[in-house]
Amino acid sequence: MFLLAHTGRPAAIRSAERVVTGLLRHRIGVRVLAEEAADLPLPDAVERVASRQSAAEGCELLVVLGGDGTLLRGADFARTSGVPMLGVNLGRVGFLAEAERDDLDKVVDRVVTRSYEVEERMTLDVLVRNNGSIVHTDWALNEASVEKAARERMLEVVTEVDGRPVSRFGGDGVVCATPTGSTAYAFSAGGPVVWPEVEALLMVPISAHALFAKPLVTSPKSVLAVEVQPKTPHGVLWCDGRRSVELPAGARVEVRRGAVPVRLARLHHASFTDRLVAKFALPVAGWRGAPH
């Protein structure tokens, strides 16, 4: 089992020690990143490995302890290795997480007994063209966002779907998201919540100055594109809010369904509706349900 933790949080350090102790007690091997091992009180039986994308290869499960940022970091390892990721939320919302910090004993028990299911989540493949040449490639689980680099200046863009222009506008940028990412940045930008089992791509303008700049939901086979206009200040491409690259004026960002999904381990059979209500603390008092 591969363990990834936000070692900057005391709660994550305590949680990691608890999980490792429980797994070793059941003779399940544990692997951690060498760079994190120095911050964790771990016995010698724990395997230390270098921080590389293939660090989780050969493991049965990737357990991540932390908030959304740590979970997205874990997704890098999960996607490369094909190992299912089980997230334990130590942050605030944690939509990618399957358990909370009070569930650590249950997490250990489910790992030991292999009592979990695995589902696949759509990803995005992202490429940047400049002067017709591909200058950068990346991927995202939640979203790829084209954003302005200077706060005082709008970013002028033209959006495109399947090779046809949709709208030109100035604003703070555009978010291209998966259904998984519909509850992240795209949600904050005013996009719709999309159930994870729905196969679709989202394009959501950010603070656009335009008559038509509405969120779009397209086919999963669509290719979304955002062109930074030639006479506008340069922009920035962010993938999952973790990796960024500068976009010069005239750059073109293309987003399509990713070739490699991320696999998530699930402990509960709760519907996404219940998860949505719980994570956002939505008011449902007065609901009576369908008549029987």
Q: For the chain, what are the domain ranges? A: 2-121+261-280, 124-257
The reported pLDDT for the residue numbered 94 is: 76
Over residues 215-238, the mean pLDDT reads: 96
**What percent of the chain has a predicted confidence (pLDDT) above 90?**
71
Q: Whose CA is closest to 235, among 162, 123, 136? A: 136
Tell me which residues are annotated as active site.
Answer: 68
- Tally the C-alpha atoms within 13 A of residue 141's C-alpha that lie toward its C-beta: 26
pLDDT of residue 134: 97
Q: What is the pLDDT of residue 222?
A: 98
Least confident of 39-48, 105-114, 161-170: 39-48
Mean pLDDT across the stretch 45-57? 88
Least-confidence region, from 91-100, 113-122, 155-164, 213-222: 91-100
Name the pLDDT band for 255 (thresholds 50, 70, 90). very high
Whether residue 240 has pLDDT greater than 90: yes
Annotated binding site: 68-69, 73, 142-143, 153, 172, 183-188
pLDDT recorded at residue 41: 82
Using the predicted structure, report yes or no on whether residue 56 has a pLDDT greater than 80. Answer: yes
- Looking at CATH, the fold of the domain delimited by 124-257 is given as Tumour Suppressor Smad4 (2.60.200)
For residues 58-67, average pLDDT: 93
Paired strand residues for 201: 218
pLDDT band at 58 (very low <50, low <70, confident <90, very high): very high
Give the CA radius of gyration of the chain.
21
Structure confidence at residue 153 as a pLDDT band (50, 70, 90): confident
Q: Using the structure block, give the residue that is written with the tokens 């990346």.
A: 138
Whole-prediction pTM: 0.92
- Which segments of 172-270 are extended strands (E)? 173-177, 201-206, 216-218, 223-228, 235-239, 243-247, 252-257, 262-266
Nearest residue to 200 via CA among 181, 178, 180: 178
Q: For residue 253, name the pLDDT band (cuts at 50, 70, 90).
A: very high
Chain segment 184-210, per-residue pLDDT in tens: 999 999 999 999 999 999 999 999 998
Residues annotated in the binding site for NAD(+), as ranges? 68-69, 73, 142-143, 153, 172, 183-188
Identify the pLDDT of residue 212.
82
Q: What is the CATH number of domain 2-121+261-280?
A: 3.40.50.10330
The C-alpha angle 266, 270, 273, rounded to 5 degrees, equals 120
- Give yes or no for residue 270 having a pLDDT over 90: no
Strands 99-100 and 85-89, sheet pairing: parallel
Residue 11 pLDDT: 84
Give the pair of three-digit tokens for residue 62: 């990737």
